Amino acid sequence: MTSISKTISDATSTVKDTMKSAISLGKNLGIGNKDVGQLYYEELVPWNPSGAKETLEWFQRLILILLDFIEKTNDRNEKILDFHHPSQLMQAMDLSIPDEPQNLDQLLTDCRDTLKYQVKTGHPRFFNQLSCGLDTISLAGEWVTATANTNMFTYEIAPVFILMEAFILKKMREIIGYTDGDSILAPGGSVSNLYAIIVARHSMFPDYKKNGLRELPKPLVMFTSEHCHYSIRSAAMVTGLGTENCVEVPADEKGRMIPAELERLVQKAIAEGKHPYFVNCTSGTTVFGAFDPINALADICDKYNMWLHIDGAWGASILMSNKYRSPRFDGVTRARSISWNPHKLMTTHLQCSTIHFRERGLLRSCNSMHAEYLFQQDKHYDVKYDTGDKVIQCGRHNDIFKFWLQWRAHGTVGLERDIDHMMGIMEYQMDRFKSQPEKFYLIVPEPECTNVCFWYVPTRLRGMQHTKEREHILGEITSKLKQRMMEAGTLMIGYQPQGDIPNFFRSIISNPAVKRGDIDFMIAELDRLGHDL
């Protein structure tokens, strides 16, 4: 954190000095705060040397606003948010769209106010989401990406970024253990999982692409854990299988799919005249952070000729760690596809989601529409690098540069160190909670990822026997404590129910900046805010 603060301080000082020079020069040239519409047409597009000084000043002032937000995000003395209810926020900010152009100062005020009321998701005491933290190198990569502003569907218009993507995805497949295969970046883990489901169907029924449902001799059915991400059921709906043909398999007390239950339900589907074709194995469930047993599920997939996919959107980054990889990913190469979101446990700037296949060529075979008006095959370069004809998108955002730059900055060893650190912080949190059983009731006593699921127990309930009635009361208290937490703005932890378990907290460690002291603060703050509930 010290190095980050110094970097920000140095950058801020440099920008301030440059601003002073620009402002002084602007005054000498007689440049005032022009109407932004006039400035846009005359000086910003294209960049007009006669207006460059004022433009430069505006961007420098904007950079100061951004750096200020970064500095506050990394300052533990700053609040995570200044919470306002929707009606209050609409009064605090002018969200209207004016008929006339606004001046430059107003636009800077708009930027400043937007960040003022925004949650600081990179704050070390933000434990609310799977994707949080602030990697400044990845953020810089996002700024460069936006400046380049190019599409990712051909080498022709994104040559450097396309090659970066190929290098990074190959490196990720090597870490998984795939000796060949293919990959692509997708707009979120939900779409990554959708790719797996449609590619699996194409692999088994290649004529489905042309003939649709009539090509299938029997209704297809897929299987997933009852603790899976909702995107699996959503994909069943989108692909026409229907949610009734997405069978949820019971999980054990840790949230892991039970293999014997999977085989029972596969046999049941066969008896009903259906065709089992796909099994989703979750590696890092959203709530409990559980890892389904890959080898046991792979044995069943081999036996019944089903495609095994790993939804590792949350947990696949643990593949980077030699310490924690096993046993969670034992048998990973037996899966035919795996999704992996670096924007979660690897702290890459949102969004950065990948899907990897063990077999090369299936992505293009499944998704290609041979749109030659966009993807000409007689170009003067090797068109195998054009990615547009192997995805279901046309326009595709550049999500690779920030990840490539981040990986270059940290190195593989550094990224592994971050994963080990965050897992270690989770273990410290568990030790602290277990040392105070009167205050914290653990839903999952031995978590497999950085999810820590618990109830905070206020003073009046600490002597009460733990029954369903007590769980119901704790569930109600959880939402009330979250309300106090939001209003205080000093701490953020998410909560949810799971099955028949009432609301409970789920704290997430996915920010390498989190230290043991932040866990100590969490415990003290929960006490301060909730002891009297």
The reported pLDDT for the residue numbered 116 is: 95
Same domain, 382 and 417: no
Whether residues 193 and 299 fall in one domain: yes
pLDDT at 10: 54
Distance CA 505, CA 454 (A): 5
> Is the CB of residue 461 less than 8 Å from the CB of residue 474?
yes
- What's residue 55's pLDDT? 80
Q: Is residue 126 part of a domain?
A: no
**pLDDT for residue 48:** 52
Question: Do the beta carbons of residue 281 and residue 338 sit within 8 Å?
Answer: no
Provide block-wise average pLDDT over 10 residues at a time, the chain (533 residues): 49 47 41 45 49 82 94 95 94 91 88 95 95 93 95 92 96 97 96 97 93 86 97 95 96 97 98 97 97 98 98 98 98 98 96 97 91 79 86 93 97 97 98 97 97 98 95 97 97 96 97 97 98 96
**What are the angstrom distances between the C-alpha of 16 and each of 10, 21, 33, 54?**
10, 9, 19, 15
Please, which residues have CB within 8 angstroms of residue 179's CB and are 6 or more apart in sequence?
A: none
Q: Which of 105, 120, 135 is the last residue of a domain?
A: 120
User: What is the CB-side half-sphere exposure of residue 125 using CA atoms within 13 A?
Assistant: 25
Regarding whether 192 and 263 lie in a shared domain, the answer is: yes
User: CB of 358 within 8 A of CB of 411?
Assistant: no
CATH code, domain carrying 224 = 3.40.640.10
Give 28-36's long-range contacts (Cβ < 8 A, gap of 24+).
29/53, 33/103, 33/104, 33/105, 34/103, 34/104, 35/101, 35/103, 36/101, 36/102, 36/103, 36/104, 36/107
In a domain, residue 460? The reply is yes
Number of domains in the chain: 3
**Three-state DSSP state, 455:** strand
Q: Is residue 131 part of a domain?
A: no
Question: Which of 80, 100, 120 is at the close of a domain?
Answer: 120
Do 450 and 423 fall within a single domain?
A: yes
Strand pairing class (353-357; 337-340): antiparallel
492 domain residue, yes or no:
yes
134 located within any domain: no
Is residue 270 domain-shared with residue 381, that is, in the same domain? yes
Q: Which phi and psi angles does 191 have, rounded to 5°?
A: -75, -35
181 and 319 inside one domain: yes
Do 323 and 431 fall within a single domain?
no
Q: Let me know if residue 133 belongs to a domain.
A: no
The 8-class DSSP code of residue 298 comes to H
Residue labelled with tokens 């996915």: 510
Residues 355 and 223 in one domain: yes
pLDDT at 8: 46
Segments forming the whole domain that contains residue 486? 407-530
- pLDDT for residue 17: 52
What's the confidence (pLDDT) of residue 51? 64
Predicted local confidence at residue 6, as pLDDT: 55
| C-alpha of 473 from chain center | 32
Q: What are the φ and ψ backbone dihedral angles of 135, each rounded to 5 degrees?
A: -95, 110
What pTM did the predictor assign? 0.89
Domain ends where: 399, 426, 452? 399
